Structure 1
Amino acid sequence: MKHKFYGKDGVIMIGIILASHSNLSKGVRDAMNCIMGEQDKVKALSLNVADDINKFAPLIAETVDEMDNGEGVLIFADLLGGSPCNQSGKLLTSKNVKIVTGLNLPMLFAAIEARSQGMDLDSTAQYSIESAINGIQNLETVLTMNKNQKGGN
């Protein structure tokens, strides 16, 4: 029987796995830790040039088993169609996972927020996607809009 993992605030937590080529996933996790402090149930997995790709899917499966407390695991992969994504995709029919591509900080922050509010796996995945999309902006456009709203020239 799996034990449910409760975060510091008593909420059962969805596990989060960051899967990427090279050390992108570790860099995103480290940036998250820098901004938000270390978070429970967030792991980074990297597929490097010298790694055996056939060992990556079993590593992801093992990590999912470790991280899943019954609420499921959200996997953020760096690139649609890339090896970390494709290897994670092998778990879609056998594990309680959702896979979202385009790994970035806004989606990770959203997932942490959503799971802390007790959102389920599907809702957490969708909220993360929306936050990632909304996080992509042209700064010049944003600054111009803000200036115009404040009545500046």
Structure 2
Amino acid sequence: MECNIGILLASHGEYCHGAKNSLEMIIGDCPDLLCVSVTPSMNNEDVQVQMREAYELLKKECSEVLIFTDLLCGSPNHAAVRLMMSREDITVVTGYNLAILVELVNRRNTSDLKVQELLNGIEDTLASSLRIMTKEGEWYHGN
């Protein structure tokens, strides 16, 4: 069965695996969601190879791939952008948190959206998920 959107989480270290594990605690199994972890022993070519292999696995089942990277200009982001430049079916988003993943994966699993439709409103989700609280009360929220 083909999915519309495969999701690839990429990060320095185990962040992406932790995000996936937490996501699955909340919403259950997340098919067509893979992780690429960059470790200190990996060089740029190693990162690129893992990114391409994960992409190719997702493309067996999905028509588009959405890659989330943890940090702008980091090794995972560079590898994702290089891969995106050679493909028409990849979108890269830099920065992710659990709130964004829960919303997007739930929307992906319950609708027939394309990547751009799925990403509409992502800024609002990100902004509304950021709160700074003190004993005196909440003094910042993203909106």
User: Where does residue 38 of structure 2 map in the other structure?
Assistant: 47
User: Where does residue 23 of structure 2 map in the other structure?
Assistant: 32
**Which of residues 4, 8, 16 is equivalent to 1:13?**
4
Change (3 A) 1:44 1:129: farther
Deviation at 1:65, TM superposition (A): 1.7
Give the structure with the higher percent strand.
Answer: 2
Question: 1:62, 1:126 → 2: CA distance?
Answer: 28
User: Where does residue 133 of structure 1 map in the other structure?
Assistant: 127
How many residues are aligned here? 133
Structure 1: 4+ residue segments shifted above 6 A:
none
SS of the aligned residue for 2:84 comes to: coil
For structure 2, the residue ranges without an aligned partner over 5 or more in a row are: none
SS of the aligned residue for 1:13 comes to: strand
Identity of aligned residues (%): 23
Deviation at 1:87, TM superposition (A): 0.9
Root mean square deviation of aligned Cα: 1.8
Question: 2:83, 2:50 → 1: CA distance?
Answer: 11
User: Where does residue 99 of structure 2 map in the other structure?
Assistant: 106
SS of the aligned residue for 1:109 comes to: helix
Change (3 A) 1:23 1:122: same
User: Where does residue 75 of structure 1 map in the other structure?
Assistant: 67
For structure 1, the residue ranges without an aligned partner over 5 or more in a row are: 6-11, 143-153
User: Where does residue 120 of structure 1 map in the other structure?
Assistant: 114
Which one is further off, 35-44 or 125-134? Answer: 125-134
Taking structure 1 as the reference length, what is the TM-score of the superposition? 0.78
Question: 1:60, 1:35 → 2: CA distance?
Answer: 26
SS of the aligned residue for 1:90 comes to: helix
Deviations 1:66-106 (A, max 9, x none): 11245311111000111101111002222211111112111
Question: 1:60, 1:125 → 2: CA distance?
Answer: 21
Deviation at 1:126, TM superposition (A): 3.5
Taking structure 2 as the reference length, what is the TM-score of the superposition? 0.83
**Amino acid in structure 2 at the alignment position of 1:134:** S
User: Where does residue 94 of structure 1 map in the other structure?
Assistant: 86
Instruction: Tell me which structure has the larger Cα radius of gyration.
Output: 1
